Each structure stands twice: as C-alpha cells, then as structure tokens.
C-alpha cells in the first residue's frame, strides 16, 4: 500500500514532469535547437583511414579524391615542401578541417553561462599546433567580410537531430592535405558531429570556390579516453634556417617542372592521372577510367591548359557596397573604417584623431560622422599611403573636419598660414608630387612631407612611424605602423582583393613590391602559430595579420620567378601572357575587367623585370 509520503512524492513527480515538459521555449537560436549531447572529454583520433596522409604525410602528386580545379592542382604541383623552411611559415597552424584530421589528441569542454547555465560555447583543443577551436552555441552572428581570418576560423553550432551542426567561416589559407594541396582563405566548413557511445565522428564538408569544383566530404573518428592524455602543449618559435638565403627567395617549382609529380603514380603502379583526376576521381566511374587512361592524359594536367582565358577571382567581395561606413575596432584606440573604397584607419585619443587614408570621398561626410563618434575632437592628422584617388579622395573634406576655430594660430603662422584651418596631411614627398601633377584639389594635397626613409610621430600615446617604400606600387608609398597598438597600414602594397597594382609609370616595380612586402614581414610578430599578433590593414580587403602578407609575398615572388624564367628563355610579352603563368592564383586574385586586370599585372611584372635587367646591364 502507498503511504501518504509516497503519494505526495508521486503526485509531485508527475506534476513536475508535466509542467517542465510544457516549459515555454526560449527565443534564442541556441535554445531552439535539438536537446544536444555532451562532447566533453578526452578524445583520440582513430587513424585507420588515410593513415599515411595523417601520419608521415602523403606523396607529392597525390591529390586523388580531391575535387581540385586547375588552379588548385597547379598550386599543389608548384609547391615545394622546403617552403616551410621559410621563417614565417615554420609555425603555420592547421585550418579547422585539417586540424580535425590531424594526428594528436583532442580535449573538448563546454563553456556555460554561470548564471543561467545556457551553453555558450564548445571548446575543442587539439594537441597538434595547440589548435583551439571555439564553437559558439549562443546564436551570435558571424563577423563581417572585412573581419580577420584565423586558422580555425569562426564557428557557430547548433544541435539538429542527433548531430551537432557547425558552420565555420573566416579561415586562413591552409592545407586540405599536407603535401601542398591547398585550401583557400575563401573556404567555408560545414560539420556534423555525432556521438555513438564512446565513438565520436566528425563529418567535414569543405566548400572552396577558389580551389575546388565541388564540396569535399570527409569524416574523422575519435574514441573517448577516460584519462587525460596530457602533453597538450605544442610550442613553436621560428628562426631562419638558411642564413644566406636572399629575402626574395620562395621555394617552388615552375609549371611542369615538379620533379616528384609522378612519384605517387609510379610508386603504386597507378596511371599518371590517378593523383590529378579532380572531382572525377571521387566517384565509382573513375575505376573504369583508371583502366584506360593514358600517360598523356595525366601529363597534360601537370601544367596549365594552353589557350584558355584567364579565370577571375571567386573570392567574396569584402566591400559592403551599402553606402554606409562600417567601423571595425582593431586594437587599443585604432579602428578600421570600411565602405568608401580603400580602407581607412583612424586612431583616436586626447590629441584628436589621426587618419590614414580617406577613401574615395564619395562617403566622406559619413566617414567624418563615424570619426566624430569615435573622437570628439577635430581631426589632427591625415597620413596618405599613396596618391591614388581611392585613398585620397576624401582628403579635402576630412581635412576640413580638422578645423579648430578655437586655435589661435601658430608661432610660425607665416609659414603655416593654415594652422587651425584643418588637419595636417602627411605623405612621402613623391606622393605630393604626383598629386600636384594630377592637379588634385590643393586643399587635399599633403603639406607635411618627408624625403628620408621614415617619418615618426608620437600621437595619442602611440609611436607612429611612416616608412617609405621607394618603388613598390609607386615611388611614393608609405607604410604606417602604430607601434603600441601594433597595427600596420599598408596601402595598396598589400591587398586581399587583387594582384598588386604595380604602377610602372609612377615608379612602381615588382622587385620593390617584394621588398615592401618583406619589410612588412620584418615588422610583424604573430601571437600564436601564425595567428594574431601584429594586425595588418590592407589597402583593400579584410583585416589581416602576417600570414596573409606572407602568402601574398609568396605569390608575387612565384609569379615573378615564372615570368623571369620565360624572359630568360627569350619569350616575348605576348608569349608570357599566353602561358597563363598566374593560373593557380587567378581564381583568387584574377580580373578580366576594371582598372587592374591579370593581363596588366603580368605585363607590369614583365616590363619591370626587363627594366631592372636593362638597368643591370647599364642600358
């Protein structure tokens, strides 16, 4: 028989279950998802699949099972593993999907709000490269297109059915496979985590418009460990390994000259097409092709297909194009303003704003309004990284916003008659010369110029240096370094959107461009495994760090070497253009229209090299 106590408990239990079962749903996205499950614990990868790739590393030329397009295939074939001897590549981390596939153990834990116990994030720590992924579960949006990329990217998750579904964007360029198979910075990742007892499986679906023709689907298995693996650290410090190597040397192979291209096929007695089959190689029909493929079919894929038109960039346009100025905090008191052509940087403080570049000027009023929200004081200084109109178009209006009627002039009022009339515009002398020559509005032309290698200024508590790059994009480029904030503003020497604009007529050169990129790399320091640290604002594109500059530098050096090799063999400009020497980079940076096309870039490199060759010969 039931006693009274039991009856009360029973009643309460049933009532409680019913009430709780009917609890209203929260409106937050995280709460709308399925109930979820616990991934916490120590996990070891089962290396039963692709053991060679994930262990010692695959052979060069083994890109089988990857839907690489021509650009991806050629990028991989150009790769020389010696590239990791370069100082800045030594601590390259793994991008998220490759990290999940790497050898080494994992630790997963939950981050919960201490007050309401909602799941805020799931953290994944990978032993190799100290890879720390944060999967945000609180419904926050992904960052804008101009936000920085990291190796692990920005991940948000949601429980759907019996899976944790994770979306990742904002990854850096990295590996699909460690033998040079590339994944671009435009790749996105969709993942499904499922757990069956102590067996966790992670399906990864990589979409990469730059290097893949269709999404790459793979999956990884892990088994749970009941004790801590320990050894979670993976310290990496870089250092030059080859002391007399010139700074503009990047190990790579010219198209068609990869000495190990056939190694994979020969080692395993497979047709040459095996490793370079692209999307075809993923499907069952490829088995039949393997029986009939000729060596010629394989060899034809080891270099660019002749006669094809250049591909164009498939990268996301990082410009908002919405007629608004978007403010993105960089670090300390430094901000990036996006929306009016070239990126604008604003440093604020007690001394009034210092602005680097002013955009096209089409949105100058909105730029000024945005600056006013950050700084209540008149703009004090403008620094121009170059003379082009997309960087200086807002000079006149932004300068005027520096007007300060309360200022009673200067002791040197005869020399500086405009004291208090507006901000002071700084640049290298050659930039002023170019703007004078173009008859740009006098009020927007720099008045405070420098001729020496660099100019320095202490402003708003930061040491600011302007470095002259004598012949990169033009002969008057400046790089601006906020030393305390550790932010470098590069102007068009570095962009994430296009091949470098090398303006030969105004003093630019490919060698100067490479030197300038190396000068940036000589000033940067990464925070952890090539992520973070010194932040780099490109002339156009998303906020970067040294890794993006590094990949860009590599690209310019590699294209230069290819053009130089053809010049050395006596090729004409038309022959060089027809050789598609940028075929592995065109889907990322290429353009067939607008003010700076792939053809124009190749021509600039060609002529630049011819000029330097002529100069060496004293012609």
Partner 1 sequence: MLRLREMFLIIRAMRLSVCLRFLPSLCLASLTAYAQGRGGAPQPPATPQAAAPIDITGYWVSLVTEDWRYRMATPPKGDFLGVPLNQAGRDAANAWDPAKEEAAGEQCKAYGIGGIMRMPTRLHITWQDNSALKVETDAGTQTRILGFTPSQRPGGDWQGVSVASWDRQATVMGSGRGGPPPGGSLKVVTSKMKPGFLRKNGVPYSADAVVTEYFDRFDQPNGESLLMVITEVNDPTYLTTPFWTSTNFKKQNDAAGWNPTPCSAK
Task: Please count the CA atoms within 13 angstroms of the CA of 202 that sit on its side-chain side.
Answer: 25
Give the binding range for partner 1 (CB under 8 A) out of 189-197, 235-243, 342-350, 519-527.
189-197
Give the binding range for partner 1 (CB under 8 A) out of 218-226, 295-303, 506-514, 589-597.
218-226
Interaction of residue 4 with partner 1, rule CB under 8 A: no
Report, in Å, the least distance between residue 53 CB and partner 1. Answer: 9
Interaction of residue 34 with partner 1, rule CB under 8 A: yes
Interaction of residue 419 with partner 1, rule CB under 8 A: no
* Closest to 517 measured CA to CA, from 487, 542, 541, 538: 538
CA distance 563 to 557: 10
Interaction of residue 116 with partner 1, rule CB under 8 A: no
Query: How many residues of this chain interact with partner 1, rule: CB under 8 A?
Result: 62
CA separation, residue 374 to residues 326, 346, 369, 537 (Å):
12, 9, 9, 18
Among 129, 184, 220, 258, binds partner 1 (CB under 8 A): 220
Interaction of residue 57 with partner 1, rule CB under 8 A: no
Interaction of residue 161 with partner 1, rule CB under 8 A: yes
Report, in Å, the least distance between residue 135 CB and partner 1. Answer: 17
3-state secondary structure of 500: coil
CA distance 435 to 396: 13
3 state SS for 15-37 = HHHHHHHCCCCCCCHHHHCCCCC
Instruction: State which residue, 168 or 495, has the beta carbon closest to partner 1.
Output: 168
Give the binding range for partner 1 (CB under 8 A) out of 138-146, 193-201, 332-340, 480-488.
193-201
The 284-313 contact track toward partner 1, x by CB under 8 A, reads: xxxx--x-----------------------
Give the binding range for partner 1 (CB under 8 A) out of 1-9, 86-94, 409-417, 455-463.
1-9
The answer to whether the beta carbons of residues 163 and 558 sit under 8 Å apart is no
The answer to whether the beta carbons of residues 537 and 488 sit under 8 Å apart is yes
Q: Could you tell me which residues come within 8 angstroms of residue 305 by beta carbon, excluding any fewer than 6 positions away?
A: 70, 580
Interaction with partner 1 in 528-587: which residues (CB under 8 A)?
Answer: none
- Residue positions counted in the chain: 619
Antiparallel, parallel or unpaired: β 487-489 and 477-482: antiparallel
Among 192, 260, 328, 450, binds partner 1 (CB under 8 A): 192
Interaction of residue 16 with partner 1, rule CB under 8 A: yes
Tell me the backbone φ, ψ of residue 71, rounded to 5 degrees: -60, -45
CA distance 503 to 494: 14
Number of Cβ atoms within 10 Å of the Cβ of 20: 8
CA distance 532 to 241: 23
Interaction of residue 211 with partner 1, rule CB under 8 A: no
Among 257, 268, 441, 463, binds partner 1 (CB under 8 A): 268
Which positions lie near partner 1, rule CB under 8 A? 2, 5-6, 9-10, 12-21, 23, 34-35, 37, 46-52, 62, 64-66, 160-163, 165, 190, 192, 194, 196, 199, 201, 203, 205, 216-221, 223, 268-270, 274, 281-287, 290
């Amino acid at each position: 028989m039931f006693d009274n106590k039991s009856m009360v408990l029973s009643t309460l239990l049933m009532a409680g279950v019913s009430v709780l079962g009917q609890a209203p749903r929260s409106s937050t996205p995280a709460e709308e998802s399925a109930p979820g499950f616990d991934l916490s614990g120590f996990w070891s990868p089962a290396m039963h699949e692709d053991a060679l790739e994930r262990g010692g590393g695959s052979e060069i030329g083994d890109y089988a099972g990857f839907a690489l397009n021509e650009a991806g295939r050629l990028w991989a074939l150009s790769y020389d593993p010696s590239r990791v001897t370069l100082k800045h590549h030594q601590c390259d981390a793994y991008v998220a999907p490759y990290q999940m596939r790497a050898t080494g153990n994992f630790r997963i834990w939950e981050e919960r709000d201490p007050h309401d116990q909602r799941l805020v994030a799931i953290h994944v720590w990978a032993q190799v490269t100290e890879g720390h992924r944060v999967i945000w579960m609180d419904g926050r949006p992904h960052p804008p297109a101009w936000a920085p990329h990291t190796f692990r990217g920005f991940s948000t998750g949601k429980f759907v059915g019996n899976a944790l579904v994770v979306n990742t964007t904002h990854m850096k360029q990295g590996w699909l496979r460690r033998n040079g198979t590339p994944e671009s910075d435009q790749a996105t990742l969709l993942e499904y985590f499922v757990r069956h007892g102590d067996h966790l499986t992670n399906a990864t679906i990589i979409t990469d418009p730059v290097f893949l023709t269709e999404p790459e689907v793979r999956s990884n298995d892990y088994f749970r460990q009941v004790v801590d693996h320990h050894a979670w650290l993976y310290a990496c410090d870089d250092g030059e390994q080859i002391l007399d190597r010139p700074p503009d040397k990047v190990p790579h192979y010219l198209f068609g000259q990869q000495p190990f291209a056939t190694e994979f096929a020969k080692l395993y007695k497979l047709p040459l097409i095996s490793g370079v089959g692209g999307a075809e190689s993923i499907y069952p029909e490829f088995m039949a092709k393997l029986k009939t493929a000729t060596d010629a079919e394989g060899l034809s894929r080891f270099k660019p297909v002749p006669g094809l038109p250049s591909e164009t960039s498939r990268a996301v346009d990082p410009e908002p194009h919405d007629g608004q100025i978007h403010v993105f905090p960089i670090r300390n008191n430094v901000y990036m303003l996006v929306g009016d052509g070239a990126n604008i940087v604003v440093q604020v403080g007690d001394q009034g704003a210092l602005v680097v570049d002013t955009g096209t000027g089409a949105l100058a009023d909105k730029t000024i309004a945005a600056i006013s929200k950050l700084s209540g004081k008149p703009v004090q200084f403008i620094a121009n990284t170059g003379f082009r109109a997309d960087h200086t178009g807002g000079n006149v209006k932004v300068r005027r916003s520096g007007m300060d009627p309360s200022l009673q002039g200067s002791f040197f009022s005869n020399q500086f008659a405009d004291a208090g009339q507006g901000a002071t515009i700084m640049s290298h002398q050659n930039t002023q010369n170019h703007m004078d020559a173009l008859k740009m509005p006098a009020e927007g032309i720099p008045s405070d110029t420098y001729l020496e290698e660099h100019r320095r200024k202490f402003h708003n508590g930061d040491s600011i240096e302007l470095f002259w790059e004598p012949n990169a994009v033009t002969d008057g480029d400046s790089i601006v370094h906020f030393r305390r904030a550790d932010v470098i503003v590069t102007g068009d020497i570095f962009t994430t959107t296009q091949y470098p604009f090398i303006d030969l007529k105004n003093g630019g050169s490919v060698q100067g461009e490479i030197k300038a990129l190396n000068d940036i790399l000589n000033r940067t320091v990464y925070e952890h495994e090539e992520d973070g640290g010194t932040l780099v604002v490109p002339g156009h594109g998303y906020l970067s760090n040294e890794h993006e500059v590094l990949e860009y530098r590599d690209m310019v050096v590699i294209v230069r070497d290819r053009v130089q090799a053809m010049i050395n063999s006596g090729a004409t400009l038309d022959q060089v253009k027809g050789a598609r020497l940028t075929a592995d980079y065109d889907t990322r940076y290429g353009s067939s229209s607008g003010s700076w096309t792939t053809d124009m870039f190749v021509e600039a490199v060609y002529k630049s090299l011819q000029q330097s060759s002529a100069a060496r010969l004293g012609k």
